[in-house]
Amino acid sequence: MFCLIPLTHNFKYLFYTIMSKKTGFLSSSIGKKFLMGLTGLFLVSFLVIHVTLNSFIFFNDGGVSYNAGADFMAHNPVIRILEIGLFAGLLLHIFQALLLTMENRKARPTPYEVVNGGANSSWYSRSMGILGSLLLLFLVVHLSNFWVPTKIAVFNHTEHNTFAGMKEVFAQWYFVVIYLVGVISLLYHLLHGFQSAFQSLGLNHKKYTPLIKKTGIWFSIIVCALFAAMPITMFLGIIK
């Protein structure tokens, strides 16, 4: 009992260290960037699972292994809890992005007449907001295509053939186009975001930073190539 009082006090202190509106870590410019990087890397870890599981369609076995994986993801309680964390992470990432963008706009009230941004930075590193917004729009389409029907099926305790749903969506050319735009946005968002997250977390090292940068580039290309291959192969009828 005795130790409980100082313990709550300690937690309160830690809470203020992180959350205090004026002096808390997360209210500072560095804290906000830290959270941006942390949630970004968390979302990257989700991409690994997502692309791995979806790649089951490339077994080309009529969706048997893919549906088994999708069924596991839809019903496993651990995944259900992680799903809440995923949405929380996504919302936090979006919320922080809006907050940072508004602050950054305010920091330059008079714009330049001439800006030669290409001379000092990549276009996609300067366009993370636009790329992220495209991704968000894509996510609305994507979730309504797959996530919502799956949820409805789980709620009604009915069987849901996710693979069949995928074939149905990717039979329409305009969905293929939307998905490719989404994947390209993801590619460039990741090309900057992956290595940028490590920098925001303070991880910059003579030996490891070049490795992180190369890993980031290959990760972005491989993940996005696999994602892009899904609607294309299905539309062309290669995956049956």
Partner 1 sequence: MSHGNMNLTLKVWKQKNKDTKGRFETYDAKGISPDMSFLEMFDVVNEQLISSGKEPIAFDHDCREGICGMCSMYINGRPHGPKDGITTCQLHMRSFKNGDTIVVEPWRSAAFPVIKDLAVDRSSFDRIMSAGGFVSVNTGNAKDANNILIPKDDADTAFDAAACIGCGACVAACKNSSAMLFVSAKVSQLSLLPQGKIEKQDRVLNMVKQMDEEGFGNCTNTGACEAECPKSISLENIARMNREYLGASFTQNKA
Binding site for partner 1 (CB under 8 A): 13, 17, 23, 25, 28-34, 100, 103-104, 106-117, 119-122, 125-126, 128, 192, 195-196, 199-204
Which C-beta is closer to partner 1: that of 181 or that of 201? Answer: 201
Residue with the two structure tokens 């994947």: 183
Give the SS3 label for residue 172.
coil
Q: How far is the CB of 61 from partner 1 (least distance, A)?
A: 43
63/216 with CB nearer partner 1: 216
Judged by CB, which is closer to partner 1: 33, or 160?
33
Question: 150, 70 in Cβ contact below 8 A?
Answer: yes
Taking the least distance from each CB to partner 1, the nearer of 38 and 53 is 38
Distance in Å, CB of 98 to partner 1, minimum? 12
In the complex, the smallest distance separating the C-beta of residue 183 from partner 1, rounded to whole angstroms, is 22
Closer of 113 and 159 to partner 1 (Cβ) = 113
Q: List all residues 6 or more positions away from 130 whose beta carbon is below 8 Å from its beta carbon.
A: none
In angstroms, how far is the first alpha carbon of the chain from the final one? 64
Nearest to partner 1 of 102, 238 (CB atom): 102
Quote the least distance from Cβ 33 to partner 1, whole Å.
6
Nearest to 96 by CA among 182, 148, 33: 33
Q: What distance lies between CA 91 and its chain's CA centroid?
A: 10
Choice between 195 and 220, CB closer to partner 1:
195
In total, the chain counts a number of residues equal to 240
Burial class (CB in 10 A: 0-12, 13-18, 19+), 223: buried
Shortest distance (Å) from residue 47 CB to partner 1: 20
CA distance linking residue 238 with residue 175, whole number of Å: 17
Whether residue 201 contacts residue 37, with contact meaning beta carbons closer than 8 Å, is answered with yes
Nearest to 161 by CA among 56, 48, 71: 71
Residues 150/163, Cβ–Cβ less than 8 Å: no
- State the nearest-atom distance from the C-beta of 234 to partner 1, in Å: 36
The least CB distance from residue 154 to partner 1, in Å, is 39
